[in-house]
Amino acid sequence: MTLFFISGVIFAQGTQQDSIEVLKNWSLFYEYFKTGDYVSAFPYGWKVMEMQPTRFKTLYKAMEKIYLKFYEEAPPEKKTQYADTLLIIYDNAIKYHPENASEYYLRKGYVLENYYTNREIEAIQAYEKGIDLDFEHIEFYYIDRLGVLYIKHMEENPEYREKAIELYRKVLDKDPQNVTANDRLRALVKDISELIELNKKRLEVDPENTELIWTIANLYIRAEDYRNAIPYLEKLTKKFPDNETYWNRLGYCYQRVGEYKKAIDVYNRSLKINPDAKEIILNIAVCYRELDNFEQARIWARRAMAKDKNWGRPYLEIAQIYEAAVAKCVKTTKGGDWTKIDFVDKLVYQLAVEYYELAKKIDPSVANEANQRIKNLETLVPTQEDYFFNKRKIKEGKIAITGGCYDWIGESITVPYRI
C-alpha cells in the first residue's frame, strides 16, 4: 500500500474495499459531518472518495464545506494547504461527477482567484470552462467575475478585451436590463458602432447565425439606429415566422422610423401568435394616432384596456388621442392659429384631463406622467366663465362633445363647476 498526504490527510492508494466498508466509512463521515465535528469527519470522507468516488454525489460538497471552514479558521501560514486541498476536491468532483462539472469549475475559479496570489490566469481558465458548459443557468456573479478578470488582464493579454465584450454581449442578449453588464460593456466599448462592426465581421463568416443577427439588430436599436436594425429583424421573421419577439421588435423599429402602416401590419402578425399581448395592442393604437386615424386609435386603446382592467396606459393613450385630435382640428380648420381655439376644443381637452385622472386612479404607477400632462393642459381647458356662457349646453352636470372635427368622439365631460 502506498501512503501519501493531502493537507495532512493520509490517503491509501490502490486498495479495494467492499460495499460494507464503504457504507461504514460513509456512515461515520455523515454522522460526524452533520454534528459539525469536521475534524473527525474528514478522514472518512477521503476514504469514501478513495474507495468509491462516484457513489455519493453529496460527498464533494460536504468535503468542500469542511475545507472552507478549515481555511477560514486556519492561521495565515496554513491557509494555502487548505486551498490546495479544495482544488483537489474540485478536480475529483469534476472527474467523477461530470454532470456537475460546471459548478465545480466555477468554484475552482473562485478559489484560484481569491485564495492565492498570481493565479488569476488559471482562475480565468476555470471560469471559462464552467461558463462554457452551462452558460444559460449560471448566476451572473460568476460570469461577472470572469469579465472583471478579463478587463484586469487585457493590457498584457489583448484578446481578453474582445472576450469580455463577447461575454457581456451574451449576458445582454439574455437579460437586456442587466445594469452591470451594460455598464461594463459601455466601459469596454465607448463607441457602440465598434461593437456593431465586430459582430458584423463575425456574421460574414457565419451569415446564418441567428444569435449574431439578433445581436446586431439589438445593437442598432441601442444606438437608436432603427432603420439599420430593420433588415436584420426582417431576416429573422422570415426564418422564424412564429417567433413573437422578432415580430414585436420589427414593429417597434418601423414605429420608431415613422413607418406606422408597416408597424401596424407587423404588430397584427405578432397578435396572431399571441392575441393577448396588451402592449402590442396599445402600440397599434399609438400608430393609428400618429396616422391621425383617431377613431381606430381609440378602438385599439380600448382593446388594450379590456386586456387589463388595472393598467393605466390605455387611458393615457386615449387622452393623448383626444389631445392629438384637437391639434389636428386647429391645424386644419383654424390654420394652426391657437388664438382661435373655441369652447368645443377646450371640452375635448377637458375630456383628455378626465382620462388622465382615470389613469392615475386605477394605476398609481402612471400618476406622475398623468399629473404632468394635466398640468400642461391647465390653460387649455374651459374656465368657469366658459361654462357659464355655455350653460344651455349643460344637461345634468354634463356636456356632450359634438360637431365639427369631433362627431366621432361620442362622449360627454363632467362640468367641474356648479353653474
- For 214-233, the pLDDT digits (tens) are 989 998 998 899 999 999 99
* b/e code 58-70 from CB counts within 10 Å (16+ = b): ebbebbbebbbeb
Report the pLDDT value the prediction gives residue 194, as an integer from 0 to 100.
83
Confidence of residue 25 (pLDDT cuts 50, 70, 90): very high
SS3 189: coil
Taking a C-beta distance cutoff of 8 angstroms, is the pair 354, 414 a contact? yes
Q: What is the pLDDT of residue 419?
A: 66
Cell representation of residue 26: 460513509
Quick one: 37 exposed, middle or buried, by C-beta within 10 A (0-12, 13-18, 19+)? exposed
Please report how many Cα atoms fall inside a 13 Å half-sphere around the Cα of residue 135, on the Cβ side. 14
Cell representation of residue 345? 376644443
Domains and CATH numbers, the chain: 191-275 (1.25.40.10), 294-419 (no CATH)
- Does the pTM surpass 0.75? The reply is no
Print burial letters for 332-348: b (CB count within 10 Å at least 16), e (below 16). eeeeeeeeeeeebbbbb
Q: pLDDT per residue over 42-72, tens digit each?
A: 999 999 999 999 999 899 999 999 999 999 9
The answer to whether 287 and 266 have CB atoms below 8 angstroms apart is: no
Percent of the chain with pLDDT over 70: 95
Instruction: Kindly list the distances between the CA atom of residue 4 and the CA atoms of 154, 201, 230, 312, 405, in Å, as whole numbers in the listed order.
Output: 40, 54, 65, 71, 94
**Residue 2 pLDDT > 50:** no
Q: Which three cell numbers stand for residue 96?
A: 467523477
Residue 404: pLDDT band (50, 70, 90) is: confident
Tell me the pLDDT tens digit for each residue of 323-376.
999 999 999 999 999 989 999 999 999 999 999 999 999 999 999 999 999 999
The answer to whether residues 50 and 22 touch, using CB atoms and an 8 Å cutoff, is no
Q: Is the pLDDT of residue 1 over 70?
A: no
Q: What is the mean pLDDT of residues 389-397?
A: 91
Of the two residues 179 and 195, the one the predictor is more confident about is 179
Per 3-state DSSP, the chain is made up of helix, strand and coil in percentages (nearest 5) of 75, 5, 25
CA-based nearest residue to 52, from 29, 69, 72, 36: 29
Kindly state the helix (H) or strand (E) to which residue 110 belongs, with its residue range: helix 101-114
Backbone angles phi, psi at 97, to 5 degrees: -135, 70
Measured between its terminal Cα atoms, the distance across the chain in Å is 107
The highest-confidence range among 11-20, 25-34, 179-188, by mean pLDDT, is 25-34
Burial of 407 (0-12, 13-18, 19+ CB in 10 A): exposed
Confidence of residue 19 (pLDDT cuts 50, 70, 90): confident
| CB-based contacts of 387-392 (< 8 A; 24+ apart in sequence) | 387/415, 387/417, 387/419, 388/419, 390/343, 391/419
What are the cell numbers at 205? 463568416
Q: How far is CA 131 from the centre of its chain?
A: 19
pLDDT at 129 over 50: yes
Residue 349 is given by DSSP the state H
Cα(232)–Cα(230) distance, integer angstroms: 5
Which residues are within 8 A (CB) of 105 and not within 5 positions of it... i.e. 6 or more apart? 90, 94, 126, 127, 129, 130, 133
